[in-house]
Chains A and B, each alone.
Chain A
Amino acid sequence: MHKRVAILAVYCLAIVGYAVAQSNPQNAPTSGQSSATSQSASADAQPKAKNDEVADAKESKVTPPATPATAPNHTPVNGLKIPSGSKIYVAPMAGFENYVVAGIMKKKVPVSIVADRDKADYEINGAQETQKAGWAKIVFTGNDSTNEEASINVTQIKTGAVVFAYSVHKGNSVRGKQSAGEAIGKHLNEAIGKD
């Protein structure tokens, strides 16, 4: 009797352990150009997790007063600002650079994106990671949305100074990498529009 219960308990623990292991983020990001500054700069500026596009739209419409404790950290890392109309080069990020460019274009960020680094004033580097839904999540929640994480930093090419950094985490991302790319575009737009 006791032996049966013990076996059952071990079996249950194995299931939970497997699920927890699946839920942990993977060790390495998909592209290796992550910057340490990017996470610290705006860790508190994470957008809403669920139904992110709707949430983004709502955020831009409603403007409650910002308190210093919860205000997103959009202040430039080195006290430098990105001027409107700057030429920006988006470095390869294992395919994610295309989503970033699309996000910047969609959010109408006042910059010129160039494909040649030599013609650019600023460079965007970063890393992105996707976590697919595990079997337990699909079985019990009926949700197969991915969790997305991305982090970028904008560097002035001449001086090498990091002028802006942002990281985003979207749990149950409705539109996958597109959501992360658009969040980056939105916050870059806000940073540039503040001058």
Chain B
Amino acid sequence: MRKATILLLAIAFSLAAFAQDTQSKDAKGQDAKPAEAKTTNAPLTNKKIPANSKVFLAPMGGFEEDLKAAIQSKKVPVVLVTDKDQADYEIAGTSDTEKASAAKKVVMWNWHSNEQASITVSDRKSGEVVFAYSVNKKSSAHGKRSTAEACAKHLKEQIEGK
């Protein structure tokens, strides 16, 4: 009786895990996709942001504060302004935080959140997007700070032409 109970529970939990993982297997079954010839088109929106440009950070649900701190800590050569009319460029974006679930804490012994963020830098005069970057950090060591610093780092590289 006891063995049967354990067996039944094991089967139930296995089925539960299988059910939650079915979507990935469905996707695998449909991936008979032939590769396309690689296109060699150059991007048109690859204009550089001049150093010391005036940049306005649009509201991003609080992420703009992290980004502001990151731009300063990474020494990105831009001037942050609080008035949109004075700015040459505008940074808009979004950020998502997924806190560690109870299962993750219990099984993986991991309290860190998963973070993802994406920013776009647009020229206010022409309205053209000159830079965009997205980042995803699993079990982020410093939460939003990590994603903000990644954005700032890549923005700096773009400005400095690296």
- List residues of chain A with CB under 8 Å of any chain B CB: 1, 4-5, 8-9, 11-13, 15-16, 18-20, 22-23, 25, 44-50, 58-67, 70-72, 74, 84-85, 95-96, 98-99, 101-106, 108-116, 119, 131-144, 146-147, 169-172, 174-179, 181, 189-190, 192-193
Contact = CB atoms under 8 A, between A and B. Distances in A.
Nearest to A95: B94
Contacts of B128: 112-115
Interface stretch (B48-56, B73-81, B119-127): B119-127
B86 interface: no
B133 A102 contact: yes
B14 interface: yes
Given A70-B32, A98-B132, A115-B127, A19 B94 contact: no
B101 A135 contact: yes
Contacts of A71: 34
B102 interface: yes
A106 B12 CA distance: 44
Interface of B: 1, 4-5, 8-9, 11-17, 19-28, 30-46, 90, 92-94, 96, 98, 101-104, 106-108, 114, 116, 118-120, 122, 126-129, 131-136, 138
B136 A178 contact: yes
Contacts of B31: 46-49
Nearest to B93: A98
B127 A136 contact: no
Contacts of B44: 85, 110-112
